[in-house]
Amino acid sequence: MGAGSVRARYLVYFQYLGTDFNGVAAVRGAQHAIGVQNYLEEAAERLNSVVPVKFTISSRTDAGVHALSNAAHLDVQRRSGRPPFSPEVLTQALNTHLRHPAIRVLQAFRVPSHFHARHAATSRTYLYRLATGCHRPDQLPVFERNRCWALRADCLDVAAMREAAQHLLGTHDFRAFQSAGSPATSPVRTLRRASVSPDPASSPFVLPEESRRLRFWSLEFESQSFLYRQVRRMTSVLVAVGLGALMPAQVKMILESQDPLGRHQSRVAPAHGLFLKAVLYEGFGTTAGPTPVSLDLPQVPACPGWAARNGV
């Protein structure tokens, strides 16, 4: 580092609609596919950091998967004599220079230089959205396409799904719900919460005449970390229970089989129904312990000359 140059590390929360991306991770090389990280790092180039800014992503998501709130850490080293950006200025700068409308930076925090966004996370929560009563693809509102798994069934046995989900709670070897290609060294995970409920917000895009036919459902899973495609595989099995293709007790048998290639557990729910809802850390966002970062965050208003005044 140059004399007087300071390297500052930040924890950044961001959200995105995953439809247009090949996942969150950057795609390097000449491929046409591109990740959310590519756009974030492109925006960060405008920060004029002495060293290139790289985002270390907390939670990798596949192509088509969305995030209400993902997280990453990054280092910004300004030129000698310039103070570190405030978290508010950094947030506004990244949003100003983002070139894709499906990505938004929510909030930033200054963190110690040893902080690691992936290793320090204490909790991750995923949301999976289902729709029932959709017998043909054109019966789903266009605004809900690529945002839920549309099922042809008119209803789900939610009580059976909840019973089945109880078998997944706790610490288990989850290799029966792990897809090939996982970098995890151990398939043991602790599932803290698994819930199945009617979507409390339903959908604002359903017309009144469609509301009796279409219903929306939410599945939520919380753990410190998950295996590759674990949530989508668990969702597929729970949907099979809800449709009557599996009994709740069979979910326990599938879990104990530790076989990822069985008849039911090899099915993977579509990516477009999955949302990373929250990544939590101790000490950030609240003084009473980790809570999801609010999506209704105050934004620093942009105004003429803002970027020039802040050196970005």
**Catalytic residue set:** 62
Question: Residue 55 phi/psi, 5° resolution?
Answer: -90, 125
Alpha helices in 99-229 (DSSP H): 158-166
Confirm whether residue 126 is marked as ligand binding. Answer: yes
| Tokens (6 digits) for 165 | 């989900």
Q: How far apart are CA 216 and CA 129, in angstroms?
A: 7
Q: Are 275 and 59 spatial neighbours (Cβ–Cβ below 8 Å)?
A: no
Angle (CA) 100-145-191 rounded to 5° is 85
Angle (CA) 94-96-100 rounded to 5° is 85
Q: Which residues of 168-184 are buried (b: 16+ CB within 10 A; e: fewer)?
A: beeebebbbbbeeeeee
| Tokens (6 digits) for 115 | 């902080």
Question: Residue 84 phi/psi, 5° resolution?
Answer: -60, 150
In the block, residue with structure tokens 């339903």: 202
- The helix/strand/coil state of 74 is strand
Q: Are 203 and 141 spatial neighbours (Cβ–Cβ below 8 Å)?
A: yes
Nearest to 106 by CA among 297, 309, 308, 271: 297
| Tokens (6 digits) for 169 | 């709670």
In the 8-state DSSP scheme, what is residue 245?
S
Question: Under 8 Å CB-to-CB from 262, ≥6 apart: which residues?
Answer: 176, 254
Q: Count the Cβ atoms, other than its own, within 10 Å of residue 82.
A: 14
Query: Binding-site residues for substrate, please?
Result: 126
